[in-house]
Amino acid sequence: MKTENRILAPALWATTLGPIVTFLGYTYGAYAWPGYDGMVKTISDLAANDSPVQLMMSSVFLFGALCDFVVAIYAKAFPKPARIAIFLAGIATIGLTVFATPNQEDYSIPHRVFAIASFIIFSIWPLFAIRRGPDAPPLLRPVAAVLGTLFLGAVSIWFLSLWADDNSTITGLGERIGVAVQGLYPMLVIWHSWYWLRKKAK
């Protein structure tokens, strides 16, 4: 099989480790900060300038961005527009890390812009990954890609609606669900595509 039509090993490692490290990071961060309520408070609050676990959580964010870059480079079965979108999502993650939330009572406009950009990109990237024809992995075909985008978009809109509601008591939970979905979906697509292409090549 040509390299251009393969999912290479670094992409498999990156798409798997990214969600795992993110989950462990914000779970440990919440545990290490007495009084932090993960149901209400966002993951970004763990990386705020007044957070006692800022350095650890910021490192988790940057590791996630690195994983995005690796996927963008080595998931060669994805069309180039999808790989560019994933690369831009990594840049957005770096941006929201650099422009951290100032404290638990305030917010940073650049941080919010980068965070929203990240959620949008991770909601629509399947549309850029569409491939047609018998050589296309099933989850990259038009119907699957559109359904995946609708699902990701619905979850993101739900979280962003919670984020915009000052009276919401489950904003943190909503973000964690959104982050999990946006991490696990590409992992599913990449592993399934790798397996399908490998089986087809035999």
Give the pLDDT confidence of 175-185 residue by residue, as tens digits. Answer: 999 999 999 99
Q: Which residues of the chain have pLDDT under 50?
A: 1
Q: Which residues of 183-194 are buried (b: 16+ CB within 10 A; e: fewer)?
A: bebbbebbbbbb
pTM: 0.93
Name residue 75's beta-bridge partners.
7
Q: Which pLDDT score, from 0 to 100, does residue 68 have?
A: 97
* Cα dihedral 76→119→41→51 (10° resolution): 60
Q: Which pLDDT score, from 0 to 100, does residue 1 have?
A: 45
DSSP code for 167? T
Measured distance CA(120)–CA(117) in Å, rounded:
5
Query: Is the distance from CB of 29 to CB of 57 less than 8 angstroms?
Result: yes
How far the first Cα of the chain sits from its last, in Å, is: 9
Query: Is the distance from CB of 140 to CB of 193 less than 8 angstroms?
Result: yes
Q: How many CB atoms lie within 10 A of CB 1?
A: 12
Question: What are 172's two structure tokens?
Answer: 């943190």
**Residue 96 buriedness (CB in 10 A; 0-12 / 13-18 / 19+):** buried
Measured distance CA(44)–CA(33) in Å, rounded:
14
SS3 197: helix
Measured distance CA(182)–CA(71) in Å, rounded:
14
Residue carrying structure tokens 């999502």: 89
Over the stretch 29-69, which tens digit does the pLDDT of each residue have?
A: 999 999 899 999 999 999 999 999 999 999 999 999 999 99
Residues with Cβ < 8 Å from 44, sequence gap 6 or more?
A: 96, 100, 101, 111, 115
Name residue 7's beta-bridge partners.
75
